[in-house]
Structure 1
Amino acid sequence: MKNFSTLNEELQKIANEELGEVPSRIHEDLAAIRLWLQHQPHLKYRDDDQFLLQFLRGSKYSMEKAKTKLDLYYSLKSKYPEMLNLSNVDDERFRQVCKLGTFLALPNPVNGVGPRIVLGRYCYPTNKYSVEDIFRPACALHEILLAQDPYACVCGIVYIVDFKEATASHFLQMTPNFCKKLVSFLEKSMPLRIKSVYYINTSGAAQQFFKILFPFFSQKLRERVHVMGDDLTEMLKDLSPQCLPKDYGGNLPSLEELVLDFNKKWDSCREFFQENVNCGTDETLRPGKPLDIDGLFGVGGSFRQLIVD
């Protein structure tokens, strides 16, 4: 019995050509990944078709890559639950951060049938919120995309990160350890392809921060990064007005309106996130050696050191 959403004709064509999807073989592929999961005593995992299918799609149907991503996904959620394993969308502090609109997914995909755009902004007071507070809904947003968004699942994600309101205090929160956690989760474990990253309205301080962040990126991701100041010409050549808010010269409603609309999704996904309580890893049950998360990705330097260099 089929328990996953059917793609429209255009998306199915992209899935077939870019991801190597064979619709008639999906049930067989799901059975194979489930069989592996059943032999992993350390993993407490979601078993629904839609969730598992995305790990196959995000790995271009490489079973070994899908296994690695699934294992790392749950290992990171157990290692860093305060940021990565949201279970209560009604938490008061969480809702306060959501209202700030620091991160949201824009409603129209690129060119009508392309990647989903995720917008991030440093529009929060650092004396009230930590960077973990801010990125908790940001990371949870990706789980909503994973569960509900066929455009993100098949075509990937385009990030726009706006540094217009970023201050030195924001950058000081972005420690190497935090950058490691963020990149590990979004690039290494999340089965959503990162197609492009636009860093806009960047300052000299942002350029210094990138010296910490970029070493954690894979070479492929570094090649997809675009850094620009307040001249957005390069980005606007790639992204049409139909998929951008009016704040950036687009035809979509204002950011204020888009944030209000996007935040309704947390209510509709309440049960989905409640189920996170039961998911994760128990390293004492892992076959072989426990996974050394800290040793997987190197950490070095700090923003404060770079500022004075």
Structure 2
Amino acid sequence: MPNIRALNPELQAIALKELNEVPERIDQDIAALRLWIEQQPHLKARTNDQFLVNFLRGCKYSLEKTKSKLDRFYTLRTKFPSYFLAHNVDVDELLKLFSFGTFIVLPRPLNDNGPRIILLRMAAYDPDKYQFADINRAAGLMFQIMLDEDDYTTVNGTMTIVDLDNVKAGHFLQMTPTTTKKLVVFQEEALPVRTKATHFINLPTGFDTIFNMFKPMMSKKQQGRLHVHGSNLKSLYKHIPQEYLPVEYGGANGSIAEIVKDWEKRIDAYRDYWVEEQQYGTDESLRAGKPVDFESLFGLEGSFRQLNVD
């Protein structure tokens, strides 16, 4: 038997129907993925059962897609440590950035058994003092724990609400094409999490310019999952009922301050995990076959290639 958490009946039914999970074959699937990792001279990855099954579920048990995402996950973190968690994680410094509450993971999933809801409040940090890349890296502490612990995320995916209320020009200036491409590629090619929808609310002047730059970088499928609501929250409620928002938004899904404090404790408890992470990553000099073409992925010249994701 694989050493993984048992899913509740509702999540197990979804895993069977939507993720192609066959409980009797999980051991075999994990073993095949672990063997492939051991055969990659350039890759050193976690190989415990729960970590690997989370990637398999996020890729609907396509072994080839799982290999690709797992490789990208460690490749991009190693290549771009200033954007994504990798080596020498300064937990104390990142906790300071995390405490601003820019990224919030709400405690109740949608409809209590659906996708995990993430709230991104851009104005929660001061762009005159901090960079969004650093804020994103700090949030990576939370997202790594979600990937490790949260079955709602790995089975049902996520829905993100991007609140742009009170954003400054400095926030937009930090979302350069290079930064945006890195974030999009990491989300679509490296994370084994299905993004079910992204909702934009409280739109400021100039939003269209950023949105029109950001949208073509995404796959056609993900473009179809973008929803722009302006200041009309009733439009948002058709997708995410108000009760599933934080109390600051008139909902009943926890208060932002309490959620942040709870996550700070969880992140702090993972200190040994972040030390262990230093041993994982990639060494491109040992990669067999064709090296990763980072210029093609992130070059500013030419059109950004479309990604094919579930």
> What band does the TM-score fall into relative to the shorter chain?
over 0.9
Q: Deviations over 1:46-88 (max 9, x none)?
A: 1111111111111111111001101111110111112212556
Q: 2:208 maps to which residue?
A: 207
What residue identity is the alignment partner of 1:282?
A: D
- Name the SS of the counterpart of 2:99 in structure 1: helix
Secondary structure of the equivalent of 1:210?
A: helix
- Counterparts in 2 of 1:115-126, with a 5 A limit? 115-122=115-122, 123-126=124-127
Q: Equivalent residue for 1:13?
A: 13
Q: SS of 1:84's equivalent?
A: coil
The normalised TM-score by structure 1 is: 0.93
- Does the CA-based 8 Å contact 1:58-1:153 persist in structure 2? yes
| Displacement of 1:214 | 1.1
Amino acid across the alignment from 1:24: E
Please state how far the C-alpha of 1:188 moved relative to its aligned partner: 1.5
Q: Which moved more, 1:242-251 or 1:63-72?
A: 242-251
* Pair 1:63-2:63 in alignment: yes
Q: What fraction of aligned residue pairs are identical, expressed as a percent?
A: 46
User: TM-score normalized by structure 2?
Assistant: 0.92
Backbone CA RMSD of aligned residues: 1.6
Q: How does 1:105-254 map to 2 (within 5 A)?
A: 105-122=105-122, 123-254=124-255
Compute the displacement of 1:274 (Å).
2.0
Structure 2 contact 78–86 (Cα < 8 Å) conserved: no
1:2 Cα deviation after fit: 2.7
Inter-CA distance 294–142: structure 2 relative to 1 (3 Å threshold)? farther
Per-residue CA distance 1:164-214 (angstroms, 9 max, x = gap)? 021111100111010011111112210000001011111231221112211
Distance 1:153 1:170 in 2: 30
Match of 1:270 in 2: 271
Number of corresponding residues: 301
Equivalent runs, 1:85-96 vs 2, <5 Å: 85-86=85-86, 91-96=91-96
Report the alpha carbon displacement of residue 275 of structure 1 after superposing the two structures with TM: 1.8
Name the stretch that deviates more: 71-80 or 252-261.
Answer: 252-261
Cα distance change on mapping 1:263 and 1:92 into 2, 3 Å: closer
- CA deviation vs aligned residue, 1:259-288 (integer Å, no higher than 9, x gap): 222222201222222221111110000001
Give the counterpart letter for 1:33 in structure 2: L
Change (3 A) 1:285 1:2: same
Q: Matches of 2:209 and 2:49 in 1, distance apart?
A: 43
More divergent stretch after superposition (64-73 vs 265-274): 265-274
Q: Distance in 1 between matches of 2:270 and 2:243?
A: 27
The CA deviation at 1:109 is: 0.3
Contact 1:163 1:200 in 2 (8 A): yes
Counterpart amino acid of residue 59 in structure 1: C
Which residue type is aligned with residue 16 of structure 1? L
What does the per-residue CA deviation read over 1:79-130, in whole Å, with 9 as the maximum and x for residues that have no partner? Answer: 1112212556653331211110001211000001000011111111112111
Paired AA for residue 263 in structure 1: E
Change in Cα spacing, 1:214 to 1:97, as seen in structure 2 (3 Å) is same
Q: Shift of the alpha carbon at 1:241?
A: 3.5
2:305 alignment counterpart:
none
Q: CA deviation at 1:242?
A: 3.6
- Paired residue for 2:258? 257
